[in-house]
Structures are given as structure tokens and as C-alpha cells.
Amino acid sequence: METMRAVRAHRRGGPEQLVYEVAPRPEPAPGDVLVAVHAASITSNELTWDATWTDNNEPGGRDRTPIIPAHEMSGVVAALGPEVTGTKVEDEVYGLIPFVRDGAAAEYVTVPADVLAAKPATVDHDAAAAVPLAALTAWQALVDHAALRPGQHVLIHGAAGGVGSFAVQLAAGLGARVTATAGVRDRDFVTKLGAHEVVDYANERFEEHVDGVDVVLDMVGGQTQARSWSVLRPGGVLVSVVAPPDARQAAAHGVRGVFFTVEPNRAQLEAIARLIETGRLTPAVDRVVSLADTRAAYETLQTEHRRGKVVIHVAE
């Protein structure tokens, strides 16, 4: 049996369960490819998701422990499983691994070939690994669920984070007027991403700065989501990736409320790669850590402020 270095959790829990160790190297099943991971990206709450620990996206799935976290990756195809076409060994690829499978905090990972896309040619693997989950979430929120159009006004909460930094760029690129909420120290960063106005969430109330908004993109939840209904115009939409919006509030304000979980999508990753290669979208990397430091990186996600994604550098 061939082995690899990996970060695994043998029982359900938080970052304290993560162990850097030797693990069996996976073999690609039919339709899968084996990827030599060069970089992976981590998400702050992924260790709380049922799908991280089971074989189902809904509660009640079968336990999969030990599991490997980190579902955004960039790397090089090392081997092909049966029935794989259109992909070859040594292709540079990136993608979002389905959450009910092991992630990429490891030297190798098996991934369905049909969710992988060619890595953007103009960025390295570390930057590419910061893209899939965050950019796909922003794309699916703004394009698929909100149907954002040129000239519309969008309010983006949590604009300096992994998803928010892509959402600001995408919304501005679609021709929307962008108002963003972020910390005062992130004002210049978010403005350079394309925001027309940045509201300091700690010291200002966004309700006093915006009204008649077409789309609210919520990456914060709680009272921020609850206060957002009042700034939407009739017929507008609140899209959340944190918690399902209150249907009664949506009806009372004459708007829609949408909650969704991001899904892997090769065609969208290909479109996102083209935006990166033409300079219209730039990945935001907060910092890069080693595979051995993955546990510590997950721990800091719970307490530290960041701009963009935290990336695990696995191999050259």
C-alpha cells in the first residue's frame, strides 16, 4: 500500500481533532482522477458541516471518519481512473471537491474528473487554490440566484473575506453598483476590489447609508441579516450562505429570500479562470501555511481577522 502525508480527523470535532500523519494514498475509482495536490484552501466553518463527516449532504449520513478536510485545491493530475476522458496525466487542474468526500489537506486526493477545470494559467497553485469554493459561491449567489444585472445596486456583507472579495469584484464586473460592509482597516482593500462605498460595520449602521437595494448578499447572518430586509426595494432579493432567511420577513417586505450551499461546477470554474487570466478577477490570499501547520491555521480562522483565503502549500 502506498502512503502519503495528510491531515486527518479520526473523530468528529473542531481543529483539535486534526492530526498531521501518514495515511493511505487513495486510488482513483471509475470517473475519478488522482491529483498530486500543490495547494489547498480552508474554510472557517467546514468542520461543523455534516457533509464533512458523513457520506450525505443532509443529516443522517454514514460516518466517514477518518476524514481529510480542505475542499478547494489546485494541483497536477497524477493518474486516471477507469472511464475518464478529456483529462490526461500532468494536466494542471483546480476545483471544488464534493463535501461528502475527503478534501485536499494531503499530498494526494481523488476527485471526480467532471468537476475539475484547467488551472488559471496566470496564477500559481497557491492563488488558484484560493478560488474554487469562494468564487463559485459568489458566482452562484449573484448570477444564478440573484440574477444580478448591470445598473442594479447590491449590498455585500463581509466583503473582505474569501467569498466577499470575489463577490465585490464579480458584482462590479457585472456593472452593478456595490456597497460593501467591512472593517475600517479593510476600507481601501475593498474599495480597490470595486466597491463604490464601504460601510464600517463596527461603527456605522448600513441602514443609514443605503436604501432601495436590489440585492443583498449575506455572509454574516444574525442581526446583520435581520436588519437587511429594510434596505431592499420591493421585488429585491436577499441571498444568504449562512442561514435560511426568514420567509415571513421576506413576504412582509415584498422580496425574496434565498439560502443555498455552493456546488462544484466545471463550466463556472472555466468562466472564472478566463476572468482571472484576463485580469478581471484577482484571487485574494490572506496567508500561506505548510501542510504540517494546517491544524493551527484552522484554529486561527476562529479568532483572527483575514483578507481573502488561508491557503495550505502542499508541494512544488
Summarised one tens digit per residue, pLDDT across range 266-316 is 999 999 999 999 999 999 999 999 999 999 999 998 776 678 899 999 987
Question: In this predicted structure, what is the pLDDT of residue 302?
Answer: 76
DSSP for 65-79, written as a single string = -SB----EEEEEEEE
- Element spanning 249, H or E: helix 247-253
Task: Assign 220 to helix, strand or coil.
Answer: coil
pLDDT, tens digit (0-9, with 9 covering 90-100), for 144-179 = 999 999 999 999 999 988 899 999 999 999 999 999
pLDDT tens-digit profile of 193-247? 999 999 998 889 999 999 999 999 999 999 999 999 999 999 999 999 999 999 9
Q: What is the pTM of this model?
A: 0.94
Instruction: Check: CB of residue 170 under 8 Å from CB of residue 142.
Output: yes
Rounded average pLDDT over 79-102: 96
Q: Is 56 or 90 the better-scoring residue by pLDDT?
A: 90
Q: Are 312 and 105 in contact (CB under 8 A)?
A: yes
Q: For residue 308, what pLDDT is reported? A: 82
The region that residue 86 occupies, defined by phi over 0 for left and psi between -120 and 50 for alpha, beta otherwise, is: left
250-263 per-position pLDDT tens digit: 999 999 999 999 99
What topology does CATH give the domain 134-259?
Answer: Rossmann fold (3.40.50)
Q: What is the DSSP letter of 54?
A: B
C-alpha dihedral (149, 154, 157, 161), degrees to nearest 10:
50
CA 113 to chain CA centroid, nearest Å: 19
The reported pLDDT for the residue numbered 8 is 98
Mean pLDDT of the chain: 95
* Residue position matching grid coordinates 472593517: 183
H/E stretch holding 3: strand 3-9
Architecture of domain 3-131+283-313: Alpha-Beta Complex (3.90)
Q: How do the domains of the chain map onto residue ranges?
A: 3-131+283-313, 134-259
**Which pLDDT does position 301 carry in this prediction?**
85
